[in-house]
Copies of this chain bind each other. A is one copy, B any other.
Amino acid sequence: MLNKKYLLPQEAVQLLLKYIPFKCLPSEIIPIEEAFGRVTYEEILSPEDLPGFIRSTVDGFAVKASDTFGAKESSPAYLNVKGDIPMGEIPQFSLSKGEAASVATGGMLPEGADAVVMIEHVNTVSDDLIEVLKSVSPGENVIFKDEDAKKGEVIVKSGIRLKPQDVGALAGLGICQVKVTKKPVVSIILTGDEIIPHTEKVSLGKVRDVNSFTLAGLCLQYGAVPLKMGIVKDEYDKIKNIVHEAYGRSDIVLITGGTSAGVKDLTSKVIDELGSPGVLFHGASIKPGKPIIGGICQGKPVFGLPGHPVAVYVCFEIFVKPLIEHMLGLRERQYKTLIKAKMSRSIPSQAGREDFIRVSLEERNGQIWATPLLSKSGLIMSLVRADGVVRIPSDLLGIQEGDEVLVEIIK
């Protein structure tokens, strides 16, 4: 028992992913007003050229660029003003050599014009004559027809979490609805005779539910819908019934608590009976979070998470988040917010195990120091006080005081 060989966290995740097809969740079509943060189900093609016409990007005068060549303050080019282009309208004339037309930002250029001279570089001589003080090259200060997007071009790839500007681009192209992957529903079951709802007064021996709140927040953070199933006693039938109900109503089932010896076996047994292959691993080389149970039941992930608040958090980040992203079909490269810091204290670690050390950060004389919040994984406050997490890989025996580490910031 002491020397039992557990999977490393990444091995355990890979094992789970083997059973779950990428982008296994169904799609849904939603208005773009609700699309921010959702994951595209398929690539989105431009239905038209954007813009559909040649536009000015500045306030000034539309010109033939060749008419301005060599113009400078000491020897301006003189152009006749043919007219004024009203905003949002099609110019009713075209430009010939030596002619210009006043145009505002966003205005359409008349036929014959291929550049715009900024108003700052023009002197008005009379109503119909200007001096151009600076030459422009063809294409300067204009956006050509289809320069932003060409009809049929891929605007947004599949598996992208839509950002504000992506939604803006869709609107600009007249795309009013978008096909996204449905959010996975993650059910959260708490087990434990000692757990009471947060609304109740505690008596000795009892503790209030912490984990359903942490887990619900994590679900929202990563684009899933939390489904709280409540608290059940450590009894086989009760756990089995609620897990069956949760399984039917959700895409991922999280059973937390049940870390005591007898109950761990109950959770395993319930997962095994729920569908094949059942439990894939029972325990992983990770601290905190070692007693985690990971299983797949007929294509749905079912986890038995340890009940310690910090272990629940770490297990969600390490095991559940990658599954959510895999099921959503997320293809984007993700960048973590990492800060270089020096460790203010030595931390031992066991070989063959990945350790996740909560740290607080402090700047002293321009150097950022990471101080480990050395505490038991049952203490939620060590996580509340943490600015970030330092990962000690399985092949290191610890970190020495003064060593440089990369701290992953908790957002």
Please give the residue numbers on chain A whose beta carbons come within 8 Å of chain B beta carbons, in ascending order.
1-2, 32-33, 36-37, 48, 50-53, 55, 57, 59, 86-90, 104-108, 119-120, 143, 147-149, 155-156, 163-176, 192-195, 198-202, 204-218, 220-221, 234, 257, 259-263, 307-309, 313, 333, 335-337, 339, 376-381, 383-384, 387, 409-411
A339 to B334, CA, bound (A): 11
With A194-B87, A260-B105, A384-B155 known to touch, is A378 a contact of B165 (CB < 8 Å)? no
Determine which of B33, B210, B260 lies in contact with A59 in the assembled complex, contact meaning CB atoms within 8 Å.
B260
- Chain B residues, Cβ within 8 Å of A166: 384
In the complex formed, the residue of B with least CB distance to A58 is B259
With A105-B307, A335-B409, A378-B143 known to touch, is A217 a contact of B171 (CB < 8 Å)? no
Q: Are the C-beta atoms of A163 and B217 separated by less than 8 Å?
A: yes
A376 to B141, CA, bound (A): 8
Determine which of B86, B147, B167, B214 lies in contact with A193 in the assembled complex, contact meaning CB atoms within 8 Å.
B86
- Chain B residues, Cβ within 8 Å of A410: 163, 165
With A155-B384, A163-B411, A171-B210 known to touch, is A53 a contact of B204 (CB < 8 Å)? yes
With A1-B120, A88-B192, A88-B194 known to touch, is A259 a contact of B384 (CB < 8 Å)? no
- Chain B residues, Cβ within 8 Å of A205: 53, 88-90, 107-108
A90 to B313, CA, bound (A): 28
- Chain B residues, Cβ within 8 Å of A156: 384
Question: What distance in Å separates the Cβ of A298 from its nearest Cβ neighbour in chain B?
Answer: 29
Q: List 21 A-B contacts (CB under 8 A).
A: A37-B220, A48-B202, A53-B205, A86-B193, A105-B308, A106-B259, A107-B194, A119-B261, A147-B379, A155-B384, A164-B213, A165-B313, A165-B383, A168-B214, A168-B217, A170-B213, A174-B198, A174-B201, A174-B208, A333-B387, A335-B409
Q: Are the C-beta atoms of A194 and B106 separated by less than 8 Å?
A: yes
- Chain B residues, Cβ within 8 Å of A33: 213, 216
A337 to B411, CA, bound (A): 11
Determine which of B104, B106, B214, B376 lies in contact with A165 in the assembled complex, contact meaning CB atoms within 8 Å.
B214
- Chain B residues, Cβ within 8 Å of A221: 36, 164
- Chain B residues, Cβ within 8 Å of A173: 208
- Chain B residues, Cβ within 8 Å of A174: 198-202, 208
Q: Are the C-beta atoms of A167 and B217 separated by less than 8 Å?
A: yes
With A209-B171, A335-B339 known to touch, is A57 a contact of B384 (CB < 8 Å)? no
- Chain B residues, Cβ within 8 Å of A214: 164-165, 167-168
Question: What distance in Å separates the Cβ of A55 from its nearest Cβ neighbour in chain B?
Answer: 7
In the complex formed, the residue of B with least CB distance to A205 is B108
Question: What distance in Å separates the Cβ of A408 from its nearest Cβ neighbour in chain B?
Answer: 10
A148 to B112, CA, bound (A): 75
Q: Are the C-beta atoms of A57 and B208 separated by less than 8 Å?
A: no
In the complex formed, the residue of B with least CB distance to A160 is B384
Q: Are the C-beta atoms of A379 and B59 separated by less than 8 Å?
A: no
With A120-B2, A163-B410 known to touch, is A149 a contact of B381 (CB < 8 Å)? yes
A213 to B87, CA, bound (A): 22
With A120-B2, A208-B174, A261-B59 known to touch, is A106 a contact of B307 (CB < 8 Å)? yes
Q: Are the C-beta atoms of A168 and B106 separated by less than 8 Å?
A: no
- Chain B residues, Cβ within 8 Å of A164: 213-218, 220-221, 313
Q: Are the C-beta atoms of A376 and B87 separated by less than 8 Å?
A: no
A169 to B207, CA, bound (A): 12
With A53-B204, A89-B205 known to touch, is A172 a contact of B380 (CB < 8 Å)? yes
- Chain B residues, Cβ within 8 Å of A88: 192-195, 205-206
Question: What distance in Å separates the Cβ of A13 from its nearest Cβ neighbour in chain B?
Answer: 20
